[in-house]
Amino acid sequence: MSGVGDLKMFIDGKWVDSDGGAAFEATSPATGEVIGTVPEGTRGDAQRAIAAANAAWGDWAARSAFDRAAAMRRVARVIEERRDDLARTLTLDQGKPLRAEAFDEVDELVSYYEMAAEDATRLDGLMPHSVDADKRVFVYRVPRGVVGVITPWNWPYTMPAEIVAPALAAGNAVVWVPAPTTSVCAVKLAECMVEADLPAGLFNLVTGPGPVVGDEVAGNPGTHAIGFIGSIATGHKVAERAAGKELLLEMGGNGPLVVLEDADLDAAVTATLEACFLNAGQSCTAGERILLHEAAHDEYLDRLRAAVGTEVRLGDPFDDSTTMGPLNNEPTAAKTERHVSEAASSGATVVTGGHRAPTFGTPLYFEATVLDGVTEEMDVAREETFGPVAPITTIRGEDEAIEIVNDSPYGLLSAVFTRDLGRGLRFAESVRTGWVNVNEGTNYWESHLPFGGRAGSRSGVGRVGGRFSLERLTELKTVVVKMR
């Protein structure tokens, strides 16, 4: 696939350069080539986008929910028509395998806009009683106004859609700041929004460094709600800047996957492959802690070693046989390398993998890695690695597993494998994570269900997913009518 040339931002219905004139190069993690240049947005660019959104959202909010739903369906149809181009851009810009993963993300993207269209027409209200028999009370949901959206690079289509689609469907305007390393994907997605003929100013894309344009969107009084998906450190900065606004924050986890002694080991191994190596481990729900019962340890490890050797194929993401592509960026690759090296030097065993594989063309390819003997003190157990690593810690029973999960600062998603469903349910009710899978891996979730971090954890606040996103991106309005 060839490069995309000089790209532009989209502000107030127009494709524009940065008002400072600067741009940065977009480099493919898959090939190492420069694939285009992207405007380096300024605070002034973000301010213009926010002003345009404020001018547009009132008319949009006044439309019927069915009109807004029709617009979301138009977006979905354009995405379907551009499926091949969007998928190939995703592989080139982000690095995920075209056949194994990229087309799937584009297809899921379609579903987000279709789902938002349906959910928008089903938002309803209440008619509570008044203490006065001559009064009637109406309580219904209204849009918040301008929603600032700041999103990561690991799922550059679907992560924004979790917030952008329901925000627009509910009657808000949007100012979107994507991750710089997947800005080419962001522009391609913005092209779909433009072709769907949304009103000028309703949807705005501002590319550039997060500490500049993202900070402006979070802190500017012209945004009324902020949706953020990304790292904990950045999420805390966004929350501080957006103090007083409605916040929807999804800030990651370490996806503990528990395999008890009575587990179906074939199912557990299959789930581990997807938990640890889908998107090269670059997922907030990746299985970054494998808590393995000592009685199942040897058999599970033998099966996992064999499965990694036959099922995970690292390579050119444009090759149909590839199941795992490169990491997206050097900081992620360096952290993965550091975590594996530190674990090995501290006593963990590298069962398979453990190194970069630069023979594929860039230094961002990293082998599928299994570590055994991981302990609580190791960085690979305490932090998000965000790479293709399965770190195994041996446990003696479910109580120890629950204690480890609950001692973690994360609280996003966990999983347990056991043939005893009652035991699985007890585990689910005991762990402090927002989502628990029983006999399914950590990367399994459904886009219409509520997803987010448990209170008290560092994994965020609020829930994305179907109507739950719309409820967060709207607010209740109470109207009292005196009849006579």
**C-alpha 76, offset from chain centre:** 19
- Catalytic choice (246, 250, 288, 384): 250
Collapsing DSSP to helix, strand or coil, 206 comes out as coil
| Nearest-angstrom CA–CA distance, 435 and 454 | 8
| Nearest-angstrom CA–CA distance, 463 and 471 | 9
| Nearest-angstrom CA–CA distance, 168 and 57 | 9
Whether 185 is a known active-site residue: answer no
Amino acid sitting at position 25: E
Whether 284 is a known active-site residue: answer yes
- Catalytic choice (185, 192, 276, 284): 284
User: How many other CB atoms are found less than 10 A from the CB of residue 6?
Assistant: 11
Q: Which positions ≥6 away from 349 have C-beta within 8 Å?
A: 371, 372, 373
| Nearest-angstrom CA–CA distance, 304 and 299 | 9
- Separate counts of helices (H) and strands (E) for the chain: 15, 20
Q: In 3D, which of 15, 43, 37, 378 has the Cα closest to residue 209?
A: 43
Q: In 3D, which of 282, 258, 299, 293 has the Cα closest to residue 389?
A: 282
- Which two structure tokens, joined as six digits, stand for 365? 């390819």
Collapsing DSSP to helix, strand or coil, 261 comes out as coil
- Which two structure tokens, joined as six digits, stand for 389? 């690593």
- Alpha carbon distance, N-terminus to C-terminus of the chain: 70
Residue for token pair 């998603």: 413
Collapsing DSSP to helix, strand or coil, 201 comes out as coil
- Which two structure tokens, joined as six digits, stand for 7? 């790209």
User: How many other CB atoms are found less than 10 A from the CB of residue 377?
Assistant: 10
Torsion of CA 173, 5, 322, 445, to 10 degrees: 0
| Nearest-angstrom CA–CA distance, 401 and 290 | 10
Active site residues per annotation: 250, 284
